Amino acid sequence: MCFLKHHVPGSRASIYIHPLLAVITFFSEKEKCINIILFTLSLSQIHPLTDQLRLVREQARIMAENRTGTSLFSPCKMGKFSLSHRVVLAPMTRCRALNGIPGDALAEYYAQRSTPGGLLITEGALISPTAPGFPHVPGIYSEAQVEAWKKVVDAVHAKGSVIFCQLWHVGRASHQVYQPGGVPPISSTNKPISNRWRTLMPDGTYGIYPAPRALKTSEILELVEHYSQAALNAIRAGFDGVEIHGAHGYLIDQFLKNGINDRVDEYGGSIENRCRFMMQVIQAVVSAVGAERVAFRMSPAIDHLDATDSDPLNLGLSVIERINKLQLQVGSKLTYLHVTQPRYTASGQKESRRTGSEDEEAQMIRTWRRAYQGTFMCSGGYTRELGIQAVTEGDADLISYGRLFISNPDLVLRLKLNAPLNKYIRKTFYTQDPVVGYTDYPFLSKANGVQVPLSRL
Ligand SMILES: Cc1cc2nc3c(=O)[nH]c(=O)nc-3n(C[C@H](O)[C@H](O)[C@H](O)COP(=O)(O)O)c2cc1C
């Protein structure tokens, strides 16, 4: 008899499928024996086989969930925070903070996406006047900005969510139009981002990235200071913590990756040197606001904005090793480590050239997950099914959802109910209208065919 064998990733379960039979085998830790479940498939169920596979996988997932007791919708202790579920709003630049000041539209947008015990991460907030590379991005360096963020934070807290502010400097991913005095943007290097990438200009058109100016060694500590001041400002604005943006080809990543960093001072060359700026920033921010209010985001395996590295696996491990060591030194863990999956896509194109097969990439993330001594968050291309699978199988503690959260303000409820999802409209991702494509995506209602329970999550 011919059976197709499928291994259930991350578990000790296997599924054997034959046109008339499906067999699941799995090892029971409790009973210390192999269990076998046999399904007979009726003739009408023979096609398509993939449906059968999905059914059997779902059975296997439920078994794994029962084993660990952890699911996307189960509570999570994240440092001093007690989250009631694991669906996180990913940080997303939306260009609605006119002239860098977050207004009522942002308060409405973030409040819509809040749930009791949920976690939201803001869009990248600029740490200094040299930090922007997109139009109308909020800052967190001036008093006016701090005051304005308070309204957003209050609106989110009123709905019971925890909110972290993402600290952002784009480095060379900018243009003179965004720089004070119209000077070139700063970076670890003088090399510009290649023509493969385009920068969003203030009028909505796309331009070429200009050549940046490599920071002098003596200027770098001032940048570190801007991060720690921004963190203090965020806490003053009422944020529960800050996420340092060390990913996606922006300033910190421009130091980390050997495809960009060509420095010959103590910030370039060896991994130790390339991690120096990142570690100085993390240490300064931890000293300013305490490790339990600090998170870090990295994407070693993503080549967004030409951020390539010859050995992403080791780069990720080196970052993690240093953070683990710092956590031991200060006697407290960072709130979480946030890692972006290489499969993340943008603009309808593959944003990342794969560093290997999907299995190799999944393995790399698992290696980092095992190495990191703390709460581990993953982002990038997660569907409901993939998020449930990752958490149930222990590959992540938290999943941050980006594009699906743009178009589904009540994403947590929809995922929980397995309700239909609104489609996102890409052309309004970075526009300035305070409502259209921002706060006008519909919530579930009877009108769209779904019975909404009275008690929201
Ligand atoms: C419109 C848009 C803006 C984004 N802005 C940021 C940002 O400011 N900071 C950041 O770390 N990631 C940013 N990202 C990446 C998201 O945080 C997330 O990792 C990505 O969308 C992949 O998740 P998804 O597949 O669930 O959308 C952005 C993504 C999108 C679509």
* Ligand 1 contact via 297 beta carbon (within 6 Å): yes
Distance between CA atoms of 436 and 104, rounded to whole angstroms? 14
Task: Decide whether any atom of ligand 1 lies within 6 Å of the 312 Cβ.
Answer: no
Give CA separation, 454 vs 414, 415, 445, in Å: 14, 16, 11
**Which tokens sit at 311?**
């050995």
Which residue has its alpha carbon closest to ligand 1 atom 3?
Answer: 92
Residues of the chain with pLDDT > 70: what percent?
80
Of 443, 438, 379, the closest CA to residue 411 belongs to: 443
- State which amino acid sits at residue 143: E
Distance CA 274, CA 255 (A): 5
Confidence (pLDDT) at 46: 42
Query: Rounded distance, CA 421 to CA 428, Å?
Result: 18
Q: What mean pLDDT do residues 358-382 have?
A: 94
| 346 alpha carbon – ligand 1 mean position (Å) | 9
Rounded alpha-carbon distances, angstroms, from residue 325 to 24, 71, 341, 372, 396:
42, 29, 24, 10, 21
Least confident of 289-298, 332-341, 356-365: 356-365
Considering only CA atoms, which residue is closest to atom 23 of ligand 1?
380
Report the run of H or E that residue 4 belongs to, with start and end.
strand 4-7
At 380, the pLDDT band (50, 70, 90 cuts) reads very high
Question: Exposed, middle or buried: residue 130 (CB in 10 Å: 0-12, 13-18, 19+)?
Answer: buried
User: How would residue 9 be classed by pLDDT, with cut points 50, 70 and 90?
Assistant: low
pLDDT score for 357: 72
How many angstroms separate the CA atoms of 116 and 85, rounded?
A: 9
Give 167: exposed, middle or buried? Use CB within 10 Å, 0-12, 13-18, 19+.
Answer: buried
Q: Is 165 in the pocket of ligand 1 (CB under 6 A)?
A: no
pLDDT band at 43 (very low <50, low <70, confident <90, very high): very low
- Average the pLDDT over 403-410 and give the result: 98
pLDDT value at residue 14: 61
Instruction: Tell me: pLDDT of 346 over 50.
Output: no
Residue-level pLDDT at 351: 42
Expressed in percent and rounded to 5, the helix, strand and coil fractions of the chain are: 35, 20, 45
The two structure tokens encoding residue 142? 């001036």
**Residue 382, ligand 1, Cβ within 6 A:** yes
The whole-number average pLDDT for the span 290-309 is 97
Average pLDDT taken over every residue of the chain: 88
Per-residue model confidence as pLDDT tens digits over 173-209: 999 999 999 999 999 999 999 999 999 999 999 999 9
DSSP-assigned letters across all residues of 292-319: GGEEEEE-TT--GGG---S-HHHHHHHH
pLDDT at 55 over 70: no
Judge if the beta carbon of residue 126 lies within 6 A of ligand 1.
Answer: no
- The pair of structure tokens assigned to 395 is 């590959």
For 259-283, write each residue's pLDDT tens digit. 999 999 999 999 999 999 999 999 9
Residue ID of nearest Cα to ligand 1 atom 4: 92
**pTM for the structure as a whole:** 0.86
- Examine the pLDDT at 455 and tell me if it is beyond 50: no
Residues that are catalytic: 250
Instruction: Find the mean pLDDT for residues 385-392.
Output: 97
